[in-house]
């Protein structure tokens, strides 16, 4: 289940804490993209394989991974999908906050600032009218997708929170299963539908980004 090792520029402070956060964001982004379930212990073990984290305390790394997963779960960006053995929760990384996803992308390239001739600079200063319209339409579409992504994350988080609370109430009042179970199932279904819609929007955003850089 090991994700491929990638080299990335460490943008945080050059401490163990900053490097752990950088590498963890990169790993989480890879697992969100692949859809592969993962445990906190497996993430910890992969982080400890990084050469620049040699000497990091295993327990410290694990606690940072655990806290990060808990935070993402509260945001509705990660959910538990099972248990490994009897004690290790298995997590599905649904998505990451936009700032973390962007900063952790090891394939992101800085913009090229090469010199341009006066002729080429002039040519790019005045794009054709149809090109301007296309750029404006693309920006509008990107803004729409951004708003949809935010809305669907909130919808998914609300549905998962509702389902979780139904399960909690059911654990205290099992004799009310006939009343609570259908509501729990409906909330889970809404969460699943919101997740599917969110995946579609994320795919479109990625495709739009690839077209913009091609």
Residues composing the chain: 214
48-65: pLDDT as tens digits: 888 877 777 888 888 888
Helices and strands counted in the chain (H then E): 7, 3
Q: At 178, is the pLDDT very low, low, confident or very high (cuts 50, 70, 90)?
A: very high
Are 69 and 44 within 8 A, CB to CB? no
Q: Which residue bears the tokens 């994320």? A: 202
In this structure, how many other beta carbons lie within 10 angstroms of the beta carbon of residue 214? 5
Closest CA to 72 of 168, 5, 3, 153: 153
In this structure, how many other beta carbons lie within 10 angstroms of the beta carbon of residue 68? 19
Are 100 and 25 within 8 A, CB to CB? yes
Q: C-alpha angle with apex 53: 52 to 58, nearest 5 degrees?
A: 170
Are 161 and 187 within 8 A, CB to CB? no
Are 61 and 20 within 8 A, CB to CB? yes
The average confidence (pLDDT) of the chain is 74
If one compares 138 and 155, the residue with the highest pLDDT of the two is 155
95-131: pLDDT as tens digits: 776 555 444 433 333 333 333 333 343 334 444 555 5
What are the b/e assignments for 180-203, b being 16+ CB within 10 Å?
beeebeebbebbeebbebbeebbe
Q: How far is CA 104 from the centre of its chain?
A: 10
List, in sequence order, every residue forming a beta bridge with 88; answer none if it has no partner.
84
In this structure, how many other beta carbons lie within 10 angstroms of the beta carbon of residue 6? 14
In this structure, how many other beta carbons lie within 10 angstroms of the beta carbon of residue 26? 22
The kind and range of the H/E element at 84 are strand 78-84
**The overall pTM is greater than 0.75:** no
Q: What is the DSSP letter of 14?
A: S
Q: At 173, is the pLDDT very low, low, confident or very high (cuts 50, 70, 90)?
A: very high
66-99: pLDDT as tens digits: 888 888 888 888 888 777 776 788 888 887 765 5
């Amino acid at each position: 289940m090991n994700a491929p090792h990638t080299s990335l520029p460490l943008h945080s402070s050059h401490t163990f804490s900053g490097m752990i956060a950088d590498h963890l964001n990169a790993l989480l982004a890879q697992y969100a993209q692949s859809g592969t379930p993962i445990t906190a212990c497996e993430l910890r073990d992969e982080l400890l394989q990084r050469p620049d984290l040699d000497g990091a305390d295993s327990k410290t790394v694990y606690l940072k991974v655990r806290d990060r997963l808990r935070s993402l779960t509260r945001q509705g960006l990660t959910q538990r999908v099972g248990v490994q053995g009897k004690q290790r929760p298995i997590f599905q990384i649904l998505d990451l906050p936009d700032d973390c996803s962007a900063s952790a992308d090891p394939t992101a390239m800085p913009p090229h600032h090469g010199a341009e001739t006066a002729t080429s600079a002039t040519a790019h200063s005045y794009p054709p009218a149809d090109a301007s319209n296309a750029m404006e339409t693309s920006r509008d579409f990107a803004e729409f997708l951004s708003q949809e992504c935010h809305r669907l994350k909130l919808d998914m988080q609300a549905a998962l929170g509702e389902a979780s609370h139904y399960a909690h109430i059911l654990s205290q009042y099992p004799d009310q299963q006939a009343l609570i179970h259908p509501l729990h199932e409906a909330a889970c279904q809404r969460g699943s539908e919101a997740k599917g819609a969110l995946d579609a929007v994320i795919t479109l955003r990625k495709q739009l980004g690839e077209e913009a850089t091609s």
